[in-house]
Structure 1
């Protein structure tokens, strides 16, 4: 297994508040896909098999500054897709907030993952189309099942082979936030917030669990990955 990591450097035309940053990046990627011949990938139903992280560095006042450059990272197990997207992102896209001035694509081979850390909120939908929170739900086993099942489906849809782990891929999960985190978007003129959590996860050591942990790194953990949800960092032995 491999994943591919596209580091993008963006030059900002205007100030951008942190709360708008995930939606702004998502819209920029979508527009680049539509212009770069990747519209079928964007519009088809099912998993998108990519995830992106937040803009770095984060300013102390959480406002990205006009005239400055910031980086964000896209990940996917699909090299062909990220190669095409890299070209599309560097085109002169007429965007009010920023332009991508440089991209760099890296290949990363799978490795033994000892820990996963979610750098962006991990979003999980529970019954009644509500978002899982410790305060309102509190069922850790349900959370682990949903995270596991979501990764199995992502793996199967991309690699075209069934995977059935003998146990949940999570050995230990730790919630790192005191209150739910959120990603804010606008749809049809209405503000929508996707609520999630930050986790530290220790995956199990068996082969299937490790494959699912690497899938989380490549495609994102949980839902709403194309809005930046569930972007993970990992510790392990390379």
Structure 2
């Protein structure tokens, strides 16, 4: 298995608050992707990519106008990355940013000793009586087994879709998991409902994960680097960093 990465440098045309940065990047990438005829009519309900936020971070949580920041996009689909590399450079009409360069890197599977989530991992549960979506959190639920099962199910689904030759997985790929945040972490994005702009909040957590050492567990851990961990990777959820042996 391989994953493919674009390390991008972006010039900001305006100040962008941390709260709005995921929305800015996700809309920029989404627009760039769907300019390509290949992806306009393709089923992309299960995303084959993930991305990290701007860096370096800013102490006042505002990314500054006229500054250059980096962000990373990853996918398990090389054709997708190649098309996206062209599309994001050509996306000149965005009012927030201009991508100056995108450097492609190919990453072979390696043994992962630890996974760290750089952006919040989103795990949804059933909606409450009012129809509001409930997200897994230590305060609300606290059942680590439910969390691990949801993360496992999400990655297994993607593994079977993108690599159907792989065997079924019975045991959970996680050996140890540690919650790194004291308070729930959030990703915000804006949507239009009834002709009015609505701010949607996704609630997640950041983790340190020690994967198991067997081959299938390591495949799932490596896959998370390319497609994200948990849900909402196209909004910036679950972008991971891997530490090798």
TM superposition score category, shorter chain reference: over 0.9
Deviation string 1:188-237 (CA, Å, 9 cap, x unpaired) is: 11110000000000000011100000111111000000011000001113
Q: Which moved more, 1:84-93 or 1:100-109?
A: 84-93
In structure 2, the residue matched to 1:236 is: 244
Q: Are 2:137 and 1:133 equivalent residues in the alignment?
A: yes
User: C-alpha separation between the residues in 1 aligned to 2:171 and 2:209?
Assistant: 15
Contact preservation (8 Å) 1:120, 1:228: yes
1:205 matched to 2:198: no
2:149 is aligned, of 145, 160, 168, to 145
- Structure 1 partner of 2:20: 20
Runs of 4 or more, structure 1, over 4 Å off, are none
Provide the C-alpha distance between the structure 2 equivalents of 1:221 and 1:46, rounded to a whole number of angstroms: 16
Correspondence 1:112 to 2:111: yes
Aligned partners of 1:14 and 1:113: how far apart in 2?
38
Post-superposition Cα deviations, 1:125-158, rounded to whole Å, max 9, x if no partner, equal 0122310001011110011001001000011111
Query: What is the CA deviation profile of residues 39-71 of structure 1, one whole-angstrom value per residue up to 9, with x for unaligned ones?
Result: 337x62531110000101111211111111101
d(CA) in 2 for partners of 1:234, 1:104: 20
CA RMSD of aligned residues (A): 1.3
How many Å separate the matches in 2 of 1:93 and 1:222?
Answer: 31
Mapped partners of 2:13, 2:141: distance in 1 = 42
Structure 1: gaps of 5 or more residues? none
- Cα distance in 2 for partners of 1:92, 1:226 equals 18
Partner of 1:2: 2
> Does the CA contact (< 8 Å) of 1:133 and 1:197 recur in 2?
yes
Q: Distance in 2 between matches of 1:38 and 1:29?
A: 15
Q: Write the distance in 2 (CA, Å) between the matches of 1:38 and 1:196.
A: 32
Asked if the contact 2:32–2:91 (Cα under 8 Å) also holds between the matched residues in 1, the reply is no
Task: Determine the structure 1 residue equivalent to 2:186.
Answer: 182
1:75-114 aligned within 5 A? 75-114=74-113
Find out whether 1:123 has 2:127 as its counterpart: no
- TM-score, with length taken from structure 2: 0.93
Unaligned runs of 5+ in 2: 128-132
* Residues 32 and 93, structure 1, Cα contact 8 Å, conserved in 2: no
Contact 2:189–2:200 under 8 Å retained in 1: yes
Q: TM-score, normalised by structure 1?
A: 0.96
